[in-house]
Structure formats: structure tokens, C-alpha cells
Amino acid sequence: MKHLISSLILTIILISCTKKIQVDTIIIGANVYTVNDEFTKAEAFAIKDGKIIDVGTSVEMQLKYAATYVNDVKGKTIVPGFIDAHCHFYGLGLQQQKVDLEGTKSFEEVIERIVDFQKEKNVAYITGRGWDQNDWKVKEFPSKEKLDELFPDTPIAVTRIDGHALLANQAAIDLAGITIKTPFSGGEIIKKDGKLTGIFIDAPMELIEAKIPEPSKAEKIRALKDAENICIDLGLTTVDDAGLSKETIELIDSLQQAGELKIRIYAMVSVSDKNIEYFTKKGIIKTDLLNVRSFKVYADGALGSRGAAMKKPYSDQHNHFGALVTPLADLKSYANKIAASDYQMNTHAIGDSANYVMLQTYKKVLKGKKDRRWRIEHAQIVDVADFHYFHNIIPSIQPTHATSDMYWAKDRIGSERMKGAYAYKVLLDKYGKVALGTDFPVEKVSPLLTFYAAVARKDLNNFPAKGFQKENALTREETLKGMTIWAAYANFEENEKGSIEKGKFADFIVLDNDIMQIEESKIPTIKVKETYINGVKVK
């Protein structure tokens, strides 16, 4: 013991005699989860030019470095900045300018919110998002008659919470030139008694959306900045936006280059032959803040609107299988073109049929290719016989989908198919990693709710008491990795972010409680006190 104390004193003397290295910031007095390969802990780290240059104890960092700013966080917990591996960042921002219908408990409440919104905003075309008939006493799709009565001349198009169904009034239908005889594919236009109800599911939604006025450039910029404020406040330092146009990506890049947008964005390009040709010819686009190297593809729709493509009929609507929203020939064509490039293919697949089709397609086109890191987004319902296909495909999953859908999912697909539904632990075991996200604004933005849903498999009312299909819960370590280093890996960015290690971006957050030790039920109460991107405090 005396020998150890003498060695420590000698080390301190030697370090103190050495000229200190100048850095920008030293963080000390912290409970740091580094999320490195060994998942080790630390007390402090030093930052210079936006990157972490050393990690260790508070004494070591202060003896070795001189800093412009020393932040003693007094025992608070620090983790790497959260990464949302699947969200709609730009969509979240746009939603701030529309009718918010999330949490409505009836169609009558939907109408009330639309009326109140229009009284305040008086827009030429009313849009909104967030209604969910599964939350209503009458769990049926609404119909447009009341909207026609209240708004005979103002077009209205309000989208379901999952973005895979919308309700349009007659004014919007007329503007789009749609009649009872309008042809469609890749979804459904619901009719009743030979008349349009106003409900459009998946691909036919585009008929209505094509006539919705495009936001102005100022509105687009405001949307991006609004979304950034929301995300940074909740501890997100990187977001994977699942489906952006070329124009929006260029706007994001210009704002980032001008210093007007600080959050890092992994942009999935909305797939089309035109976009594939443009971006694959241009090659991977990579800056410190923007990474463009993937395409977002839709295989099917959503479970809540019965648009997910299933191998067998829905349990609560016989003879209905859902549908592929992109023709199979196109899915295969896209896969072949993307496989011939350096780009990643990230496919939305909810139903067991859609997952099977995409896993088989991936297997064929990726044969002989290494480290492509193609992703299945959601992987929500997988036939138990098909899980093995994920051995080289990244599952990009959203834990709060499980705790939102658990009330009605079994009614949709039956108990047998539920064995392969929201099976996050199985997916982790098959691939070895999972990338975790939220799909916001479909779900709430907070990463802490993602963490809670993954670990506890409960909603915010502590239901169910023993957890929903608890065998598929993730451990806290697995969950934190899924929200940091594994999400970074899914973006080909694990060498620059996702952990608090030497040489990586200084993206980290300070929490008011220990996320790895706090009582499980209190996880959602944890607050993000500070958020840092590139070593700069942005919250």
C-alpha cells in the first residue's frame, strides 16, 4: 500500500512539473458512461477543437491540461449524445405549423381542434397530423361528412399518427380531381355505400398530397430550426431523417454550412430512380454535420391502418392482407441499383410478408458483398421462421412502437404472429446490434421514453405491471448502446461518435440522474440538463 501511495505521489509530482497542455474544455466530477468497447466508466475528459482528446479521472485531467473552461458537473451522469436512428426530423418541424391532433380521444375532438386552429390561423389549406382511431371509443376510421359541412370551401387533409392514412374533406378531394372511379394501387381508398369516405391509405394519399401547397423557403427553414430546438432540448445530437428530398437535403447543408443548424443529420434520401441516379453518381456526401449515403424505401404501410403486408389475412379483417406500397419489381430494381453503389438501403417493413420479401431481396443482391450495413426499418412483425435472415441485416427498431401498439396489436394479427412481433431481443441476438429510434413525430421525441420502453416494456402508466412481452426487453447497457454507438455503427459513423473516447466528436449530454442505476419506473422522469455538440454547449 505504501509503495502504491508513493508511486501515485511521484506520478502527480512528475505531471505537475510538466507544462500543461492547453485545451478548450475540461469536464470533471462526472459519472461518465463512456460506452466504449469495455463499457468502462470515467470521471472526466478533455476537449479541444470539438473533439475529445483524453478521458480519465478528474485529478488526471486537471494536472495534465489547462482549459479555458472547466465544468465541474458535481457528480451528475454523462452519456454520449443520443442518436435517433429513425425519425422524421423535418416532418417534426413542419408539424409545428399544422393542426396537432395527437392524443385526441374522439373524432369530435379532432374536429374541435381543426376549428380552433382555423380560427387562429385562417389558412387556405388546412393540414395536420396525429389522430389515431385506435385511441377512440369507436375504433373505426372517421368519415368526412362533418368536415364537409363545416368547411365546404376550405380543403382539409389530416394525417393519421403513423403517416400511412389521411382523412380529406370533399374540397380537398375535388381539388385533387378524385372521383369514385379514380384508379389507384399500393393501398386503399375507402368507400361506403358507393361514396368516398375521405380516407386514403398509403400510396393513394399521394393523390391528395400532390395538391397541398408547398411550404415557402422561410417556412422550411423555420421547420428545421424548430425541430432542432426540440431535439437538442431532449439530448439528441444526431438524427437519422428517414426520407428527405434532394432539395431539403441541400437546404439542410446550406444551413449547417452557415452555422444556422448545429445538429448532426444522417439523411436518408427518399428513393426514386431519379434520386438514385443523381446521388450514386455524386457519391457519398459527408461533412462533420451531414452524412448522405443511404436511400429510404417503403415496402408496405403501417399496422394501425392495416396497411402492413401480411402473409395471412388480418385477424380482425378477414380476406385483408395489407399491401406492398412499392411494386415488387421496383423494390428489386432499387435494390440492384443501390447494391451497385456505395449507398445503403434502408427499407420500411412492418408486416411479416414485407419483412420476408425485403430480407430475401437483400440476401440476393448483397451476395458476396461485405460490410454494406443495409437496414430494415421497424422489423415490426417477423415470421419466427425468418429471423435468421437478420444475421447480416441491421434491425432499426423503435421501442415505443411496442408500448403504443400493445393495446390492439394482438387483435390485428392474433396471438401466434405476436410471437414474432416487437421482438427486439431476438433481433439483437440475430445481428448482435440494434439501432434504436422513435419514428417521431409518430411517437414522442424523447429518447428517455425510448430507453424506458426498451428496458421496462411499459407505458407511462406502468402498464402492464410485468411488462409487455418482457422476454424481449433489452438490458440498460444494450439500450444505451442502441441509442449511441450501435446507432452510430448503423450510420457508418462509429469511429467519430457514439462513445466518449479519444478522437471522437465531443457530443455528450449531462443528466440529472443516473440512467443506469435509477429505479426503473423513474427513468422517464430523468431530465437532460446540458447538451453539447462539438464540445459546445447548445443547451
The dihedrals phi and psi of 526, each to the nearest 5 degrees, come to -65, 140
Q: Which residues pair with 241 in a beta bridge?
A: 87, 267
Give yes or no for residue 17 having a pLDDT over 90. Answer: no
- Beta sheet of 65-72, edge-to-edge order: 51-56, 44-48, 21-28, 65-72
* DSSP secondary structure string for all residues of 164-195: SEEEE-HHHHHHTT--TT----SEEEEEETTE
pLDDT for position 325: 94
Distance CA 435, CA 317 (A): 32
Residue 19: pLDDT band (50, 70, 90) is: confident
CA-nearest of 255, 222, 217, 262 to 239 is 262
pLDDT for position 141: 94
Q: Pick 269 or 7 by higher pLDDT.
A: 269
Instruction: Give the β-pairing of 508-511 and 156-160.
Output: unpaired
Could you read off the pLDDT of 64-103 as tens digits, one per residue?
A: 999 999 999 999 999 999 999 999 999 999 999 999 999 9
CB 200 within 8 A of CB 168: yes
Q: What's the predicted TM-score (pTM) here?
A: 0.90
Could you read off the pLDDT of 156-210 as tens digits, one per residue?
A: 999 999 888 999 999 999 999 999 999 998 889 999 999 999 999 999 999 999 9
Average pLDDT over residues 308-331: 96
Q: What number of CA atoms fall less than 13 Å from residue 310's CA on the CB side? A: 26
Residues in the chain: 539
In 10 A of CB 116, how many CB atoms? Answer: 11
Kindly report the average pLDDT of the chain as a whole number: 95
Residue with grid cell 431523417, as numbered in its chain: 241
Distance CA 141, CA 136 (A): 10
pLDDT for position 9: 59
Q: Is 237 left (phi over 0), alpha (psi -120 to 50) or beta?
A: alpha
pLDDT for position 2: 54
Number of H helices, E strands in the chain: 18, 25
Give yes or no for residue 535 having a pLDDT over 70. Answer: yes
**Per the structure block, which three cell numbers stand in for 408?**
390492439
Residue % of the chain over a pLDDT of 70: 97
SS in 3 state form for 59-71?
HHHHHHEEEEEEE
Distance CA 489, CA 497 (A): 9
CB 344 within 8 A of CB 396: no
Residue with grid cell 392514412, as numbered in its chain: 165
pLDDT for position 10: 56
CB 378 within 8 A of CB 354: no
Terminal alpha carbon distance of the chain: 44
Type and span of the H or E element at 21: strand 21-28
Instruction: Give the β-pairing of 31-33 and 236-244.
Output: unpaired
Least confident residue range of 180-189, 225-234, 341-350 = 180-189
Residue 458 CA, distance from chain mean position: 19
